[in-house]
Structure 1
């Protein structure tokens, strides 16, 4: 009898402790709330575009869920989220790992990949007649152009390298680039030039009737068969036009989060996500959260679709 009373007292004691913990948890977060997502990475002192090179899944309790990914591949679009990136050695690059995000195997006519350059790394040369665009999302690299002139490229700096132009990218410490390559569509009497610049040197373009601003990184001349834009949305802003057009797109989300409509599907997206859009796929974006959305956008143009 004494043992039974002792067990009963212990049971009710433990029950009281657990109920107390439950009440504290309920008062702070609500019943059945997921644990708060509070990490040092949320602080405001992080470098620009840090989520591209340090991606996280959200919410936190899904990070270790086996088989979980937001990546989707369909006939006319793809979403490649960071947890499914596959890095491997880049052909002809030294001490560099690459993850191909968009390739012609999807149906695109261009390639987009992340290049993670390590200590004492060097780029390779694109195939013949292939043009190259690079944008620095982390660290710094040194570009040496065909004339032997060197250019220091930091975060938000970029370069356009015309087809068949000898050049090299060198890195003494770790850096990450987004690289876009395309076989150049020649147009008689028009030859593209080397471009080296940075995002902040390009003026903001306000689009009447739309809720976003953008920067045009390449000139709109006929010498270029594609362009690159930096698109900025404040929280709550969205595309007014529900776009359907013949151009292809490649997107890398640099900051923020929102909802992207692609075809008949609606995808939550965030910094680090890459998107491919085929010609004529319906597309629309709305920025959510408390900070701006910024993404880099590839768009082919200046050529007859025939």
Structure 2
């Protein structure tokens, strides 16, 4: 009887100790706390899209693990994370390093790359019949069109150039662009025009059945064979439709973090991550963390898949 009571007393003490630890965890760090992927001060103390141009590995305890990467390449999708970017001089550009994140070698019909312009840098022209879309992630860029008119592009600004358009991007200091290029799919009696703008100038569009906010950066007319969408999610919001379609996507996560489903795989993602989605790969996203998610999405449109 004595040993039975002693056993219960010890069990009670262990239970109290355990509850004490639980209380500490809840009151000081939160239940089941773990190192945060996001910096809560990001939106207050850092420039817009700072984590794209100054990424960090997550979780933090894996930052210095040799050989570690979250990047994945499969036949119908790829996740390319910042720790595996490989930069080299961009052909025909001066003082500019580029990292290709999506290319036809994967099976895509477009390229997506990061261009890091340095002091006194200039862009080159894409190949013949190739259209270009450039979006400023960091710094200031001077854009000059075919008529010689120049204007300054700041973060969140963009320019679309139809195929065979003379143009120039220049930077006196460091600047970072994400660029999409593809061979234009000509359509009789439809000619695309150059477009220059910024995200905040684009109207919010209706998204029936969905909760995210949507902006389209290019016109939806038949002259344009792709569009660039800016999609915003509040923490906890997610796509309602589990999409499977013929369109290809190239995606760059600009802010926030979440979970992306691609095929049968589920990937934690954060600002700075790039994704390629082949036709008909199942896809779905949910925003997590404490700050909103924003991503930039390439989508081919307005052409018969035949």
TM-score range, shorter chain: 0.7 to 0.9
Give the CA deviation at 1:213: 0.9
Q: Is the 8 A contact 1:206 1:212 kept in 2?
A: no
Matched residues in 1 for 2:159 and 2:192: separation? 12
1:78 maps to: 78
Deviation >3 Å, runs of 4+: 27-30, 32-43
Q: TM-score, normalised by structure 1?
A: 0.88
Cα gap change, 1:158/1:305 in structure 2, threshold over 3 Å: closer, same or farther? same
Give the CA deviation at 1:302: 0.3
1:107 maps to: 107
2:229 maps to: 229
Cα gap change, 1:184/1:43 in structure 2, threshold over 3 Å: closer, same or farther? closer
Give the CA deviation at 1:242: 0.5
Aligned length: 283
1:10 maps to: none
Give the CA deviation at 1:211: 1.5
Matched residues in 2 for 1:187 and 1:42: separation? 44
Q: Secondary structure at the match of 1:163?
A: coil
Matches within 5 A, 1:194-209: 194-209=194-209
Does 2:262 correspond to 1:262?
A: yes
Matched residues in 1 for 2:67 and 2:73: separation? 16
Matched residues in 1 for 2:215 and 2:43: separation? 27
Q: Is the 8 A contact 2:247 2:280 kept in 1?
A: yes
Give the CA deviation at 1:109: 0.2
1:149 maps to: 149
Give the CA deviation at 1:294: 0.2
What stretches of structure 1 of length at least 5 have no aligned partner?
1-23
Matches within 5 A, 1:29-108: 42=42, 44-108=44-108
Matched residues in 2 for 1:257 and 1:164: separation? 37
2:243 maps to: 243
Give the CA deviation at 1:301: 0.8
Matched residues in 1 for 2:262 and 2:242: separation? 10
Q: Is the 8 A contact 2:38 2:257 kept in 1?
A: no
Does 2:147 correspond to 1:161?
A: no
1:218-247 per-residue CA deviation (whole Å, 9 max, x = no partner) reads 000110000000000011111101100000
RMSD across aligned positions (CA):
2.2
What stretches of structure 2 of length at least 5 have no aligned partner?
1-23
Cα gap change, 1:35/1:111 in structure 2, threshold over 3 Å: closer, same or farther? closer
Give the CA deviation at 1:28: 5.9
Q: Is the 8 A contact 2:40 2:291 kept in 1?
A: no
Give the CA deviation at 1:290: 1.0
1:290 maps to: 290
Matched residues in 1 for 2:38 and 2:133: separation? 36
